[in-house]
Amino acid sequence: MSNENKKNVENMLERMKTVEKESKSESMCLAKWLQSTVYLMNGHTHSCHHPAVHKIPLEEIKDNPSALHNTQYKMQQREAMLKGQRPPECQYCWNIEDLGKQHISDRTYKSTDEAWAFPNLQKVLEMRDSNKIAPTYLEVAFENLCNMKCMYCTPDISSKWMEEISTHGPYMGTSRKVGDLAWLKKTGKYPMGRSEENPYIDAFWKWWPELYQNLKTFRITGGEPLLSKNTWRVLEEIKNNPRADFSLAINTNMQAPDELIERLIDYYNDIAPKIKNFDIYTSCEAHGKHAEYIRTGMNYDSFLENINKYLRMTGSHSRVHLMITFNILSLSTFDKFLEDVLKIRREFSPDIGYNRVPMMINYLMWPQFQNVRVAPVKVRKASIERIMNFVNANSQKNGNGLIYLEEVDQIERLSEYAMQELDPKDLKLQVNDFRGFFNEFDRRRKGSFLELFPELRSLYSFF
Ligand code: SF4
């Protein structure tokens, strides 16, 4: 680790000590107060994005639109944290923290973030019980309209998934019946229609003038946000009232029609010079046909071309962040995908310094049967070794490598996690779900799992 990076990590750990000392809690996480994702199409939220979502009761937002974030449920989780308890919904972080002190969990990365979290520590402690605390980092999904149906997505998030399930029904071969619309209705997750009145979207626009004053980062997700008129309304609002301390981010699959990508480029060129940051986030975790298998509706070449086009036409400070949700099907080609990322970096960020194509590497938790640990140990071992060889050969550690140290760290922690064994009973259940799901997936989507992933044959085939 370079001295500068060592210092950054030390500073981060110092700030985390302050968070824990001031709050008198070793499980304190500022993201529970300051970071929120709100799904307006069905009225759900979570803080942060790792725990499962929960319903926003309509009566709570009636007179207080900030209850889109400050639900009674979330306030109970905060209370538990302040008592030093570990809310079970944050298991993602406890898993990493239990690996040992050499690994840093998202609780630390997030709580110590200088842009939206750490400077608000005192404010959070003062307002600890308030149901009106304004998030400084808010992510919003307006609707589920989407042109893709990725394998780990769901009908409440993707209208393409909804179309498939409405035609073919849920995946009956899995223990939880993937895509079960009856379950979505029962849990209140069934998305509202686009023509229906939506009280959550109404509450959002009611909240917006106050919300915008406090926001440091606003991120729009979907569905595919470029297909939603609300996204363009937000862009217009910001264009008319830009703030120098405000950061905007949009999650897009970079597969919207050309005219929408071009419209995005125009808005970027208009707004970006007047606000702090304007960032694009996109997702991929495999290469070529393998990526297209994971993400039905994707054209891998046009995905790369759109990233190139966006970076080319938006000046030298624009960024496209790659969110990697490493899953069982990433094992085969993740290193080849990294090669493509490095090609883009060589063109647009040839020197370590300002990285225009940063990566954030997470592992997939849901659905569990797509988790990397379901793969046979031999396959995991060989793939992780190959991936780590590529990462080490291209790491910043080696002088001019273009994989940053924090990315190397994230891939190392992922590798360690991937090599942990599941409980045999759980593994059996996951393998059954894996078979039930992908056999049906291929039947419906005319896929060819075995051609693409022969090394996972033992999981796919029924004996
Ligand atoms: S503890 Fe981890 S999972 Fe929980 S809110 Fe914080 S960062 Fe998210």
Helices and strands (H, E) in the chain, number of each type: 20, 11
- Cβ neighbours, 10 Å, residue 225: 27
Phi/psi class of residue 100: alpha, beta or left (left: φ > 0; alpha: ψ in -120 to 50)?
A: left
Verify whether ligand 1 is closer than 6 Å to residue 90 (CB atom).
Answer: yes
Residue among 337, 321, 451 nearest 387 (CA): 337
Cβ neighbour number for residue 319 with a 10 Å cutoff: 20
**How many C-alpha atoms does 348 have within 13 Å on its Cβ side?**
24
- Residue 3: pLDDT over 80: no
pLDDT for position 2: 62
The arithmetic mean of pLDDT across residues 52-65, rounded, is 96
Q: What is the pLDDT of residue 103?
A: 85
Which among 248, 255, 298, 304 has a CA at the least distance from the CA of 276?
Answer: 248
d(CA 302, CA 306): 6
And the tokens for 234?
């937000």
In the predicted model, is pLDDT for residue 284 greater than 60?
yes
Percentage of the chain surpassing pLDDT 90? 92
**Rounded average pLDDT over 125-143:** 95
pLDDT at 463 over 70: no
Q: Looking at residues 181-193, what average pLDDT do you find?
A: 94
Residue 365 has pLDDT above 80, yes or no: yes
Q: What average pLDDT does the segment 37-48 reach?
A: 97
At residue 427, what are phi and psi to the nearest 5 degrees? Answer: -60, -45
Q: How far is the CA of 454 from the centre of ligand 1 (A)?
A: 36
Give the whole-angstrom CA distance, residue 383 versus residue 246: 41
Mean pLDDT of 356-369: 96
List the alpha helices (DSSP H) in 83-174.
91-97, 106-111, 121-126, 159-168
State yes or no: pLDDT of 301 exceeds 90.
yes
| Residue tagged 């007179």 (tokens) | 63
pTM of the model: 0.90
Mean pLDDT of 397-422: 93
Task: Give the number of the atom of ligand 1 that is nearest the alpha carbon of residue 47.
Answer: 5
Q: How many CA atoms lie within 13 A of 421 on its CB side?
A: 7
In the chain, the percentage of residues whose pLDDT exceeds 70 is 99
Tell me if 256 CB under 6 Å of ligand 1. no
Q: What is the mean pLDDT of residues 440-457?
A: 97
Residue 400: pLDDT band with limits 50, 70, 90: confident
Residue 107 predicted with pLDDT over 70:
yes
Which amino acid residue places its CA nearest to atom 3 of ligand 1? 90
Nearest residue to 438 via CA among 347, 328, 352, 334: 328
Cβ–ligand 1 distance for 141 under 6 Å, the answer: no
Q: What's the chain's Rg over C-alpha atoms?
A: 22
| Contact in structure between 150 and 294 (CB atoms under 8 Å) | yes
| Mean pLDDT, residues 433-441 | 97
* Of 338, 370, 344, 366, residue with least CA distance to 357: 344
Closest C-alpha residue for ligand 1 atom 5? 48
Tokens of 210: 């106050």
Tell me, using a 6 A CB cutoff, whether residue 46 lines ligand 1.
Answer: no
Per-residue pLDDT band at 1 (split at 50, 70, 90)? low
Distance between CA atoms of 217 and 245, rounded to whole angstroms? 9
**Which one of 90, 109, 116, 360 would you pick to mutate in the ligand 1 pocket, going by the greatest count of ligand atoms within 8 A of its CB?**
90
Q: Are 21 and 159 in contact (CB under 8 A)?
A: no
CA of 144 to the centre of ligand 1 (A): 25
DSSP, res 171: B
Q: Determine the distance separating the centroid of ligand 1 and the alpha carbon of 89, expressed in angstroms.
A: 8
Dihedral over alpha carbons 198, 201, 206, 207 (to 10 degrees):
140
Helix boundaries (H) for 394-448: 405-418, 424-445
Query: Which of 192, 221, 302 is CA-nearest to residue 256?
Result: 302
Cβ-Cβ contacts under 8 Å for 390 (sequence gap 6 or more): 335, 338, 339
Query: CA–CA separation, 440 vs 156, rounded Å?
Result: 20
pLDDT at 391: 97
Answer whether residue 27 shows pLDDT above 90.
yes
Cα–Cα distance measured from residue 51 to residue 74, given in angstroms and rounded to the nearest whole number: 11
For residues 332 and 84, what is the distance between their CA atoms, to the nearest angstrom?
Answer: 41
Quick: pLDDT tens for 303-354. 999 999 999 999 999 999 999 999 999 999 999 999 999 999 999 988 878 9
Distance, in Å, from the CA atom of 452 to the CA atom of 447, rounded to the nearest integer, reads 9
- 39 has a pLDDT exceeding 70: yes
- The C-alpha atoms of residue 400 and residue 353 are separated, in whole angstroms, by 11
219 in contact with ligand 1, CB cutoff 6 A: no
Split at pLDDT 50, 70, 90, the class of 462 is low
Q: Is the pLDDT of residue 12 over 50?
A: yes
pLDDT band at 276 (very low <50, low <70, confident <90, very high): very high
Q: How confident is the model at residue 244 (pLDDT cuts 50, 70, 90)?
A: very high
